[in-house]
Amino acid sequence: QKEVEQNSGPLSVPEGAIASLNCTYSDRGSQSFFWYRQYSGKSPELIMSIYSNGDKEDGRFTAQLNKASQYVSLLIRDSQPSDSATYLCAVNPFSGGYNKLIFGAGTRLAVHP
C-alpha cells in the first residue's frame, strides 16, 4: 500500500516566523509532488508543485524535494494568521496519465499574532 505520511499537528508558529511542514512517501518511483492548502469546510487549493530534487520558490512558499530520502517539505516564510489551515501533501506515483494522487492526512498549521 502506497503511503504518504504527515504529522497531524497542530504546528503552532508566531506571526512572522517560518513554518516548516514535512511529508514522507513510500513509493520510491513517485514522480510528482504537491502541496494543497485546505481551510476548514472548504476544498483544497494547490499552492505548490515540485517534480525534481531541490528547492522551488514561489513568493513566501518554498517546496523542497529529496527523492533519495523520500521526503518533501514546505516552508512558509513570514507566516501570517491567514496561513492558518491544514496543509495536505499529495504524491503521484505515476509518471503522467491518470492523476491518482495519494494524499497525506494533513498538518494543521496555526499562526498566532
Partner 1 sequence: DGGITQSPKYLFRKEGQNVTLSCEQNLNHDAMYWYRQDPGQGLRLIYYSQIVNDFQKGDIAEGYSVSREKKESFPLTVTSAQKNPTAFYLCASSRTGPLNEKLFFGSGTQLSVL
- # residues contacting partner 1 (CB under 8 A): 26
99 counts as binding partner 1 under rule CB under 8 A: yes
| Placement of cell 499552492 in the chain | 47
- Other beta carbons within 10 angstroms of residue 94's beta carbon come to 14
Reduced to 3 states (helix: H, G, I; strand: E, B; else coil), residue 81 is: helix
Question: Residues 13, 35, 50, 106: which binds partner 1 (CB under 8 A)?
Answer: 106
Q: Are 8 and 22 in contact (CB under 8 A)?
A: no
Instruction: State the binding string over 53-82 for partner 1 (x if CB under 8 A, else -).
Output: ------------------------------
Instruction: State the binding string over 4-43 for partner 1 (x if CB under 8 A, else -).
Output: x---x-----------------------x-x------xxx
Residue closer to partner 1 by CB (options 17, 102) is: 102
Question: Residue 47 corresponds to which cell in the numbers above?
Answer: 499552492
91 counts as binding partner 1 under rule CB under 8 A: no
- Note if the bond before 10 is cis, omega within 30 degrees: yes
Collect all residues with Cβ–Cβ distance below 8 Å to 108 and sequence separation of at least 6. 8, 9, 10, 11, 85, 86, 87
Question: Which positions touch partner 1 (CB under 8 A)?
Answer: 4, 8, 32, 34, 41-46, 49, 51, 88, 90, 92, 95-101, 103-106
